[in-house]
Structure 1
């Protein structure tokens, strides 16, 4: 994948700011980062890491989420190539800052060989950056923690978030979203020795981990069956806690769950999934022209086959081999 021409902050992967060390220096985190590095160096994980299939149509998934949320999560402004005030201000500043993940294997993770952040979301972030700015040297990829995504946008630390961010009604009150670019559901990981067969088994009377500010945390909290809900700043920290025996299960979306199962052969995904959702690019609510520009990039990205190529490269071996299942398309 293309690595030159895009700058990235190397700061704390949990803080979302450059240059800090923060909580990510603890030894537990090093365990997972070493596992991630080994997985990247190995060049891939087993096909058996793919989640079990639960067949739903794209429209069924979207309608179920709309019914639960009470809003149309696919609604966004029409695509446009016009440069409005938000895009012009970014170009005048000569820097587009995109908030990304550097902890999620195959989605957004730092390659120890190159030092570059890479993955499915990173391919999309770079495509957006190149289209908006025209010059890759003017694009900055900045790691942002799960819990810090909305704050980072509202406080101007980033212009966009491309980080497996679920679109829902509550978040739509705070930030604007592009059209969806991926269908997901919530899944549960457990250690391979766990007797749990499904989500209910894995959660009931167990210590369950989820990232703060994530949809997974809302889902597991609303179940009200866990003995303890443990929150962490980034979803990779849940894998560390499972490795150390401090939690019994992790809830996260199916893409991230598949990445963790591929990254660590001592965990597996249980049967069943919860709350069909869609993922989008987030930005300031009043940046309507930027939203329209991102929607144009998404339309072009899919039409050129770039979405499919990125999916084939990063995700197909670890998820259901049905690309149509994951592209939300239009309605």
Structure 2
């Protein structure tokens, strides 16, 4: 328990990361939290992306001229994007980080030509829109609201929102047992949007920039439960054996790589990377990082194209 609290303190205070010894640039950010616009009326399948292509384009040539891929990531999500303080060098690692290195390998011919920028949940879209990053690979759910602001690759992971609470809690899941309970949510997350539609009488006043901050608040007794992606919640439960996921997922969500609106050639190139990665790489990464907490997987979600 104490370890998780210490890790959070380190992660939140470090705004910029280094990629395997490579200097990262200016601090991440953007002008502020992106305001979600109403989803298009005809948005029925937000996971459908442009068809894959191995061709080039202005966004790809810019990356090649720079000599490195600039990617917004998380640095405090255990198993997904984090630094293990017990390992020399403290390089970023995790399921999302493996995918970033794969994209760099395919575009630049070197998996280490990456500049990581740590971005809070609510700064993912502004960082893309401002051009601070080429893309965000940070457990980011594809949905109708977000595709108004950024373009996504095809889905590379499926999950759903779940409740995370102490094992001895009377909370049983996303149901009436949340009534009067104080929940912790990451600002700008799909959990926050879902709870605004139906909260079951829970207190939603506690929001934090990063998901792991919720774990600390739960450990300190400041909140009764967390609502987050089940995939992230499983990682938090692995850090603290006194908590567990409660009930079943109450949404169906898919993670995608987010890029600037209109960066079609880059999106198509990333989709081509994912075509190959689903066949060779995805399973080994899943087994290395997620299988211990999530169990055996049937594989990545099938790609959808428009």
- TM-score band by shorter chain is 0.7 to 0.9
Q: CA separation of 1:241/1:202 partners in 2, compared to 1, >3 Å: closer, same or farther?
A: farther
Aligned counterpart, 1:251: 227
d(CA) in 2 for partners of 1:69, 1:313: 39
Deviation at 1:267, TM superposition (A): 1.0
Distance verdict in 2 for CA 1:20–1:128, change over 3 Å = closer
Counterpart position of 2:197: 222
Cα 1:69–1:101 change in 2 (3 A) is farther
Aligned positions of 1:10-159 closer than 5 A: 13=12, 16-17=15-16, 70-112=43-85, 113-114=87-88, 115-159=90-134
CA displacement, residues 106-135 of structure 1 (integer Å, 9 cap, x when unaligned): 111101113111111110111011111113
Residue 71 of structure 1: CA displacement? 2.4
| Corresponding position of 1:27 | none
Matched, 1:233 2:209: yes
Contact 1:98/1:161 (8 A) holds in 2: yes
Residue 213 of structure 1 corresponds to 188
TM-score, length-normalised on structure 1?
0.78
1:329 alignment partner, one of 292, 302, 305: 302
TM-score (norm 2): 0.84
Measured after TM superposition, the shift of residue 318 of structure 1 is 0.5
Pairwise CA distance, 1:16: 4.8
Counterpart residue number, 1:194? 169
Deviation at 1:317? 1.2
Aligned equivalent of 1:51: none
Give, in angstroms, the shift of residue 12 of structure 1.
6.0
Which of the residues 252, 263, 273 maps onto 1:297?
Answer: 273
Q: Which structure 1 residue ranges, 4+ long, deviate > 3 Å from structure 2? A: 11-21
> 5+ residue gaps in structure 1?
1-10, 22-65
1:61 is matched with: none
Q: What CA distance in whole angstroms lies between the structure 1 residues aligned with 2:78 and 2:91? A: 13
Cα-to-partner distance string for 1:27-73 (whole Å, 9 max, x where unaligned): xxxxxxxxxxxxxxxxxxxxxxxxxxxxxxxxxxxxxxx9x994212
Cα distance, 1:309–1:137 mapped onto 2, change above 3 Å: closer
The correspondence for 2:243, drawn from 259, 267, 271, is 267
- 1:92 Cα deviation after fit: 1.2
Higher helix share: 1
Tell me, yes or no, if the aligned pair for 1:188 and 1:202 is still in contact at 8 Å.
no
What displacement does 1:14 show? 6.3
**Distance in 2 separating the partners of 1:213 and 1:174:** 13
Write the distance in 2 (CA, Å) between the matches of 1:319 and 1:214.
Answer: 21
Consecutive unaligned residues of structure 2, counting only runs of 5 or more, are 1-9, 18-24, 28-38
How big is each residue's C-alpha offset from its partner over 1:55-104, in whole Å with a ceiling of 9 and x where there is no partner?
A: xxxxxxxxxxx9x9942122111111111111001111222101111101
Match in the other structure for 2:141 = 166
Distance 1:76 1:303 in 2: 19
For 1:101 and 1:69, how far apart are their aligned partners in 2? 32
1-structure distance, mates of 2:26, 2:181? 34
- The 2-side partners of 1:201 and 1:117 are apart by 39
Q: Determine the C-alpha separation between the residues in 2 that align with 1:309 and 1:137.
A: 19
